Amino acid sequence: MAKGKTATGLGARHGTRLIARFADAGMRPGRRRSTAPASAAVATHHRSVYILPTKAGIGYGLMLLATLLGALNYQNNLGLLLTFLMIALALVGMHHCWFQLLGLVVQARDGAPVFAGETARFPVTLAEQSGKPRPQLTLVGAAPVALAAGGERPVMLPRTAGRRGALALDRVVLETRYPFGLFRAWTVLRPRAEVLVYPQPAARAPRAPMLPQVARNGRGDRGSGAEDFIGLRPYRPGDPPRRLDWKAFARERGVMVKHFGGDQCARVWLDWDALAAADLERRLSLLARQVLDADARGHSYGLRLPGISIAPGHGGRHRLRCLAALARFRPAESGRHG
């Protein structure tokens, strides 16, 4: 008799622990449960799919309880039949809801760089690999999608870029309420992807002083900052689009760029030490504005940061290189030269 009571007590305590673990998993879906390294593509697994009733499901259950008690009280066999039929539909819907998330692969890629305060967008591809259609799937934060058997769908997953640096896609929550909306099944995935966040440009910044370095020749220094038109030359990567000769392109003469020259090219250095701002982020914000202004004016500009020096240049690639250096800058950096 004592042994029976002991076994019963152990079974009750074991069941209580299981219920507590399940409730903890349901209430905190974002909790990290795996120490495995993240990868660009992750697959769903039956051990990481959780399911709980929705508000509609709880109301549905209360209604079934009321109909069951009423049918038992009045000994109404038709009421009992209807109640058990509705319970069976709910159980079938629960199984279909859970199986919706099995056999899926979520693959994320790095997104385009943005400035702090903007919305970063991660390209995410949702693929079905088990050969079954998935009518209703949702990546939390994006619009619902439907997958055909063996198909895939691209989704842009937004995240707020609050601060500069590398913004990692920390986790992706994939959920479904198919087919009746009575249950919500979800899984938490951690694909590896990031977006580079540039410092937020200041509204205004001091204009960097020009350096009148002249490379004289018979036709002047053919720099991008001069104003006299010289002629056309073939396109080179990094040339600003505003200088493309669209008329020559329309006449099938190839991609040509308008070439300007003059007595000198406007060159500037964007120097960390030349700014009076004491705050680190404020100074980076001013430098970001100077980079954008110098690029818009067509200047040849270089960037100096503590431990980092980027040689003067111009064009889209040079602008992105300077902004990336500002985004990744850490005060302790030293000894690196661009």
pLDDT digits (tens, 9 = 90+) for 219-259: 334 444 445 555 667 777 767 777 777 777 677 677 777 76
With a pLDDT cut of 90, the percent of the chain lying above it is 52
Q: Residue 40 has what pLDDT?
A: 77
Read off the pLDDT of residues 42-60 as tens digits, 9 standing for 90 and up. Answer: 889 888 999 999 999 999 9
Choosing from 170, 198, 226, the residue where a domain stops is 198
Mean pLDDT, range 188-198, rounded to an integer: 93
Task: Say how many domains are in the chain.
Answer: 2
Q: Mind giving me the DSSP string for 240-304?
A: -GGGB-HHHHHTTS--EEEEEEBS---EEEEEGGG----SHHHHHHHHHHHHHHHHHTT-EEEEE
Residues 192 and 216 in one domain: no
Let me know if residue 30 belongs to a domain. no
Among the listed ranges 91-95, 138-142, 272-276, which one has the minimum average pLDDT value? 272-276
Q: What is the mean pLDDT of the chain?
A: 80
- The one-letter code for the residue type at 56 is A
Residues 179 and 233 in one domain: no
Q: Is 336 exposed, middle or buried (0-12, 13-18, 19+ CB in 10 A)?
A: exposed
Let me know if residue 126 belongs to a domain. yes
pTM for the structure as a whole? 0.69
Q: Residue 55 maps to which CATH number?
A: 2.60.40
Let me know if residue 2 belongs to a domain. no
Among the listed ranges 33-37, 252-256, 278-282, which one has the minimum average pLDDT value? 33-37
Let me know if residue 114 belongs to a domain. yes
Look up the domain containing 45 and give its range: 37-198
Let me know if residue 6 belongs to a domain. no
Let me know if residue 19 belongs to a domain. no
